[in-house]
Amino acid sequence: GTAYDWNINGVAYPNSITVVHDFGTAGTYPVSLTVTQAAGCVNSLSRNISIRLQPSDVITTRDTTICFGDSIQLNTKSALEYCWSPDATLKNPSSGSPEVKPVTATQYFVNAKVRGPNLIINGDFSQGNTGFISNYTLLTSGNQEGTYTVAANPASWDPGFSNCADHTGGNGNMLLANGSQVSQNVIWSETIPVQAYTDYHLSTWFQLISSAGNAGIRFYITGTPLEDFHHSGTAPCNWQEYATEWNSGLSTRATVAIVNTYTDIAGNDFALDDISFTALSMETEAIRVNVDKPALLASADTTICPGASVALWASGVSSFSWSPADGLSDISVSNPMATPQNNTAYIISGRSSLGCLAKDTVQVSLFQPVPVTITPDTSICMNDAVQLYATGALAYSWSPAAFLDDPIIPNPLAKPDQPTWFMLSYKDINFCMEKDSVLVYFRPVPVFYAPPDQKICVGFSVL
């Protein structure tokens, strides 16, 4: 034709021989192609495309709960491709084991392209030379072109080949080939029943067994080549996977073949192992990751008077641990009494019933002392009185009260009968009780000396 017009589920792709369309969800969708020829003739064909998404046990991790701030790795069974959603809290949503770090309870979904059972008979050649046909000649010695054998070591087949192990690294069998000089010669082939309109995954492991050269292979299905050839590189004993996908369309049988593409006699020698042909299915599953965030509540920050105590409290968790221990009555209860000597930040750590940790801090500060002016220490004469005074406080209490005219005023009159410490307890502007003192002591009593009584004559004097 001269024009090719597609319509896929109502979306038009005009004048395109091939198109790529993204089916957002599983379902069955109508697809039509209209072809216009040079003479103006028009023909069209329609099909229904089934996008299958099969619920399955893809995820091996079960629904779980993690602590807030933690992450968890989700694991799945083996698949070729993965697509996780939502991806906002996912690392690598195309991985089979992504790491997730949700902040709230989240349900994660994965769509996986999963391989079914291997339909190849004797794909690992553990049963020897059975289950397949080859255009190569089976020989016990590998010194001729276009020959093959099934063995565990290339060097045992031909001493000129490298000493390579099978794909799994053990002593298992593999198909060894001395490459044919005839291009596209079939080295291995098997006919397999298939389901119509089904995607299949075809793969083999492939390595060079000659110390010099380069080998190449290509997949064919029922005589049609798939994609490009795969070459081994020049390093022997280096296993590489060659894989591709194929849709069966109307076919119910598929003849899968592997052919050689390099015909250079010097080194086009290779080994095949673990040939696989599997049906593909899109499988889906969901997992719920709950997030445990302990609702820890704690006391508000507070300021107290020096030497005073305050009751701290915390709630919302199952266990408690306070630190530092200095000044606390008990570090493992929800409501310890705190009597700090300095400004202290008390950290409460609590765990939920699921063991998740939460922390909070309660700052307990001390009021700074408020300056109060008080009578300095003073001296008086015996039997004298002195006026005491204090300023800058809200309330006053003097003692001992017996020597004071009023012990609850700021300026009482004191008349002690002996040297006395007068103690003042006062309430400052922060309502903190503080103390100070005044010493009232006596001045020394003067020592007097008088002469004894004397008699003198009238008119005389005496000193």
Q: Convert 365-381 into a string of H (helix), E (strand) and C (coil).
A: EECCCCCCEECCCEEEC
* pLDDT at 366 (0 to 100): 96
The pLDDT value recorded for residue 231 is 80
Tally of CB atoms within 10 A around 280: 19
Distance CA 459, CA 92 (A): 134
pLDDT at 52: 83
- What pLDDT sits at residue 161? 92
DSSP string, 254-276: EEEEEEE----TTT-EEEEEEEE
Alpha carbon 53 to its chain's center: 29
Coil, helix or strand at residue 392: coil
Residue with tokens 């309109």: 197
Q: What is the DSSP letter of 152?
A: S
Query: Would you give the end-to-end CA distance of the chain in angstroms?
Result: 162
What confidence score (pLDDT) does residue 182 get?
A: 85
Which contiguous run of DSSP H or E holds residue 221?
Answer: strand 216-221
Between CA 18 and CA 32 the distance in angstroms is 12
Separation CA 95–CA 164 (nearest Å): 32
Rg (CA), the chain: 50
Q: What burial class does residue 393 get, using C-beta atoms within 10 Å of its C-beta: 0-12 exposed, 13-18 middle, 19+ buried?
A: buried
Say if CB 177 and CB 269 are below 8 A apart. yes
The pLDDT value recorded for residue 193 is 97
For residue 448, with 0-12 CB atoms within 10 Å meaning exposed, 13-18 middle and 19 or more buried, which class applies? exposed
Segments of the chain with pLDDT less than 70 = 267
Give residue 232's pLDDT: 80
pLDDT for the residue numbered 228 = 75
Dist CA 420 CA 407 (whole Å) = 15
Residue 382, class by beta-carbon neighbours within 10 Å (0-12 exposed, 13-18 middle, 19+ buried)?
exposed
DSSP 203: E
H/E element holding 157? helix 154-157
Question: 199 pairs with which residues across the strands?
Answer: 247
Task: Show the CA angle centred on residue 152, arms to residues 205 and 206, nearest 5°.
Answer: 15
* Token couple for 147: 């020959």
For residue 94, the number of C-alpha atoms closer than 13 Å in the C-beta half-sphere is: 2
The reported pLDDT for the residue numbered 53 is 87
Residues 222-248 pLDDT 10s: 999 997 778 887 889 999 999 999 999
**Which of 59, 83, 90, 23 has its CA nearest to residue 285?**
59
What is the per-residue pLDDT for 234? 80
pLDDT of residue 189: 98
Q: Considering only CA atoms, which of 257, 255, 259 is closest in space to residue 185?
A: 259
